Amino acid sequence: MTKQISNKKQIYKLKDVAEIKAGYPFRGKIQESPNGPARAVQPKDISELGELIEEDLICTELTGKRTADWLKRGDVILINKGWRNTATYIEQDYEDITLAPTLFLIRPKKDWASKLNMQFIAWQINQTPIQNYFKRSAEGSLQVSLRRQIIEDAVIGIPPLEEQNTLANIYENSIQQQKVLATMVRNIHNQMTVLAQNLVQTEEKQ
């Protein structure tokens, strides 16, 4: 289904409407600590569809000097290392989840909080125009990364809130449909594997 955007949209840079902060400055590699007070989101904890895989988060100690930014509803997190610069919308408040340094936290500015649907912002970041901009702007050969300024200067279009909400709902529905489709494909693959194994086993018995 194609959704037409009204001519009422306005063009901004992401930094005009949101604050972008680097993840928590852990010292060195994030070490697992079963009794640690925090859980850390790393790029591996973001699915291909842009969802937080909460059950895979490790507990750890806060080894840096800065106070941690705990994730809350309406936040968007963005992977800034490698070629998979996926944005993820956070649907609820967390009192113990923060980000690794390889992610950025995107949070609406106070005067924009009531004007933005941040799930819409996550959707827009994940679309081709901004993703191509990130690929053109990425730095490094072995360890590709995005500087904060690159993210801050990303150009976004902001239509009226009602249209943002509509697009956010379409985005959420598309994720759920892709998950169902992926499950169906995986089940068919598993069935084909079983059939192939049965054929081999049958031949071996003859």
Average pLDDT over every residue of 179-199: 81
Q: Is the pLDDT of residue 103 over 60?
A: yes
**Gap between the Cα atoms of 94 and 76, Å rounded:** 13
Q: Is the pTM of this model over 0.85?
A: no
Average pLDDT over every residue of 150-162: 96
What per-residue confidence (pLDDT) applies to 206?
A: 53
Q: Say how far residue 36 (Cα) sits from the centre of its chain.
A: 24
What is 10-205's CATH superfamily?
A: DNA methylase specificity domains (3.90.220.20)
- Cα–Cα nearest to 48, from 88, 105, 94: 88
| Residue 36: Cβ-neighbour burial (10 angstroms; 0-12, 13-18, 19+) | middle
Confidence of residue 178 (pLDDT cuts 50, 70, 90): confident
**Gap between the Cα atoms of 80 and 23, Å rounded:** 10
What are the start-end ranges of the E strands in 109-202?
155-158
What per-residue confidence (pLDDT) applies to 13?
A: 97
- Cα–Cα nearest to 54, from 8, 93, 86, 3: 93
What per-residue confidence (pLDDT) applies to 4?
A: 56
**pLDDT (tens digit per residue) in 20-79:** 999 999 988 999 999 999 999 999 999 988 999 999 899 999 988 889 999 999 999 999
**pLDDT (tens digit per residue) in 114-136:** 999 999 999 999 999 999 999 99
Higher pLDDT, 194 or 118: 118
Confidence of residue 83 (pLDDT cuts 50, 70, 90): confident
Count the Cβ atoms, other than its own, within 10 Å of residue 107: 20
